[in-house]
Amino acid sequence: MTSDRRVWLYDCTLRDGQQMQGIDWGVTDKQDIARALDAFGIDYVEGGWPGANPTDDAFFAAAPTLKRARLTAFGMTRRIGRSAADDPGLAAIVGARTPVVTLVGKTWDFHAEVALGVSLDENLAMIRDSVAEARRRAEEVVFDAEHFFDGYAANRDYALRCITAAHEAGARWVVLCDTNGGTMPDRIAEVVGEVARRIPGGQLGIHCHNDTEQGVANTLAAVRAGARQVQGTLNGIGERCGNANLVSIIANLMLKMDMQTGIAPDGLRGLTRLSRMLDERLNRAPARGAAYVGESAFAHKGGLHVSAVEKDPRSYEHVPPEAVGNRRVIVVSDQAGRSNILARLREVGIDLDPEDRRVRRLLDEVKAREFAGYAYDGAEASFELLARRMLGQVPEFFHLETFRTLVERTAPANGAGGGEPVALAEATVKLVVKGERRLTVAEGNGPVNALDAALRSALQPFYPELADLHLIDYKVRILTPQDATAATTRVMIESEDGQGTRWSTVGVSGNIIEASFAALADAYVWKLLRDGAQAGGAQPGGAGA
Ligand SMILES: [Zn+2]
């Protein structure tokens, strides 16, 4: 039983989304994305175009087993002058043996005659025959009416005859496509409303592009006018300005329009993770300002905003961040007020009186350090250490005397013409820990790796807590690029321990090794502090001093 408020979600990330410049997914990427879409509750997953490229063929040959989503194979209607039954293109599409087949056809008279060079009658026959043939071979057929809104404006009668032909030939869905992305929301609503008088809204879909930044608005307008299938891509990836962003569409349908999808209400909490998963596959940083799922979507920076959000989040949040699996972020920044600092301190478990003079001192210190290039937004552990050091709560777990790193590029191992030259790094660390002076040397594949190894071998005998610590991310950012190789460098390190706790630290210096050391040392100290490690004697022979 489906209610009139049920909207079917159709994802085109793996086909239309993949048209975006710079995307080159392999079969495994596509399989993993399809599984993630299925697990999240998407109804239709368009896998690609069989016969169009080797990756898509390999994908369909080893199609992932989906639990509830229906996999669809995309392609074009039959060629001019062939019968649908022996058209090689169509054979490849139905040959993928997916439960659903999606066929795209021309519905704009200008496009049929000029781009395809076909008579209007033959184009109608191509639609009718192809849909009927696909219907014989697959459980369900979706007809994508290409350039429908332009066609409707140019020759309304012909555009309607095209989709009626598909509908009558057995298409479960007729999807109206704003292929060039130039239509505005009021026009979309008007046309969909008119079409819905001939083909029921429960069989109408919408496919929008974002060329006027209204892909999402256009999609929602079509739903309001009766369409019940929405097509889009994760994070709106796609050719030119992209497709309609399915992530925002889903959140809006469920949180703003009271529509039902295949996603349970609490399943929406997986939305942020789904969106980030895609960026991971694209090897790019997620857009901070993305609606609902961006890191800044619920970030509060202005002092006034922060104090209001602390009283009641609804003062500056349109929905609770948890609803979409995102989180509230209180940003400490250059413009930070007293309330930001207090809120941040509370987040790391430090309760200070607002009138405490140390709050002001900490604020000044944060400002000065941010001016020098530190960024505490993504380095909570370093922020906590800064605050606790000022409060005298961080013991000196060790005292560094010196460190030295050395990078050597050796000649190929087996002489001229054989093997690659090897770059090796070595680090020496001298420090005092629990009253003992330690000198350690370690090798690594780079200077930071060697330094980490030397530091660890010096400390671990005294602090077994460090055994399960490992670095999971190391990011370098050049802050004053105009100075080229003499620029200031910021290093951010993310660490994890055996219990799955993660924390981030930051170091800034004109020297990348020094910046890395600072971030590394903070990572170690934060872990020792959190585990309640016993410090003591950071001076040589420090007899219980
Ligand atoms: Zn498209």
Per-residue pLDDT tens over the stretch 197-246: 999 999 999 999 999 999 999 999 999 999 999 999 999 999 999 999 99
pLDDT digits (tens, 9 = 90+) for 354-407: 888 888 888 888 888 887 888 887 788 999 999 999 889 999 999 999 999 999
* Å from CA of 179 to ligand 1 middle: 6
Residue 392: CB atoms within 10 A of its CB come to 8
Provide mean pLDDT across the span 288-309.
Answer: 85
- Ligand 1 center from residue 325 Cα (angstroms): 28
* Distance from residue 15's CA to the centre of ligand 1 (Å): 9
What pLDDT score was predicted for residue 334? 46
CA distance 91 to 343: 62
Q: What distance in angstroms lies between residue 207's CA and the mean position of ligand 1's atoms? A: 7
Give the three-class secondary structure for 96. Answer: coil
Task: Tell me the residues surrounding ligand 1 (ion) with CB < 5 Å.
Answer: 16
- Distance between Cα 242 and ligand 1 center (Å): 9
- Output the average pLDDT for the chain: 91
Residue 323 confidence class, pLDDT cut points 50, 70, 90: very high
User: Rounded to whole angstroms, how far apart are CA atoms 163 and 298?
Assistant: 43
Distance from the CA of 220 to the center of ligand 1, in angstroms?
16
CA of 237 to the centre of ligand 1 (A): 11
Q: Does domain 399-530 have CATH number 3.30.160.270?
A: yes
Ligand 1 center–CA 197 separation, angstroms: 25
Asked whether residue 543 carries a pLDDT value surpassing 60, the answer given is no
CA of 456 to the centre of ligand 1 (A): 53
Residue-wise pLDDT for 285-295, tens only, equals 789 899 999 98
Ligand 1 centre to CA of 12 (Å) is: 8
pLDDT for residue 475: 87
Confidence of residue 331 (pLDDT cuts 50, 70, 90): low
Centre of ligand 1 to C-alpha 191, Å, is 18
Q: Please determine whether the domains at 8-263 and 399-530 fall in the same fold group of CATH.
A: no
| Local confidence band at 417 (pLDDT 50, 70, 90 cut-offs) | low
Mean pLDDT, to the nearest integer, of 446-472? 93
- Least Cα distance to 78 among 105, 98, 108 occurs for 105
Q: What is the Å distance from ligand 1's center to 243 Cα?
A: 6
**Which residues sit opposite 329 in a β-bridge?**
299
Query: Domain extents for the chain?
Result: 8-263, 299-372, 399-530
Cα of 494 vs centre of ligand 1, distance in Å, is: 39
Whole-number Å distance, alpha carbon 266 to ligand 1 midpoint, is 30
What pLDDT, on a 0 to 100 scale, did the predictor assign at position 1?
A: 42
- pLDDT over 60 at 541, yes or no: no
- pLDDT confidence tier of residue 310, bands split at 50, 70 and 90: confident
Dist. CA 11 → ligand 1 center (Å) = 11
Find the 33 Cα to ligand 1 centroid distance in Å: 19
For 168, the enclosing helix (H) or strand (E) is helix 156-168
Q: Which of these, 483, 482, 475, lies nearest to 512 by C-alpha position?
A: 475
pLDDT at 159 over 70: yes
Token look-up 């509060």 returns 300
pLDDT for 459 beyond 80:
yes
Predicted pLDDT of residue 515: 95
Query: 8-263 architecture in CATH?
Result: Alpha-Beta Barrel (3.20)
Task: Give the closest residue to 300 by CA, choosing from 331, 277, 274.
Answer: 331
Percent with pLDDT over 70 in the chain: 94
38 Cα: distance to centroid of ligand 1 (angstroms): 21
DSSP bridge pairs for 328: none
Rounded mean pLDDT, 24-40: 95
Highest mean pLDDT among 70-74, 274-278, 374-378: 70-74
Residue 536 pLDDT > 80? no
User: Residue 313 — pLDDT band, cuts 50, 70, 90?
Assistant: confident
- Averaged pLDDT for residues 55-68: 95
- Distance (angstroms) between ligand 1 centre and the Cα of 50 equals 17
pLDDT at 545: 36
- How is residue 99 written in tokens? 């439960």
User: Which own/partner pairs from 438-441 qualify as long-range (CB within 8 Å, at least 24 positions apart)?
Assistant: none
Res 540: pLDDT: 59
Q: What are the pLDDT digits (tens) for 463-517?
A: 999 999 988 888 888 877 666 666 789 999 999 998 888 899 999 999 999 999 9
- Tell how far the Cα of 16 is from the centroid of ligand 1, in angstroms: 6
Q: If you measure from the C-alpha of residue 150 to the centroid of ligand 1, how many angstroms do you get, rounded to a whole number?
A: 14
- What is the whole-number distance in angstroms between the Cα of residue 209 and the centre of ligand 1? 6
- End-to-end Cα spacing for the chain: 76
Distance (angstroms) between ligand 1 centre and the Cα of 169 equals 23
Residue 418: predicted pLDDT? 59
Q: How far apart are the CA of 171 and the centre of ligand 1, in A?
A: 19
For 495, the 3-state DSSP assignment is strand
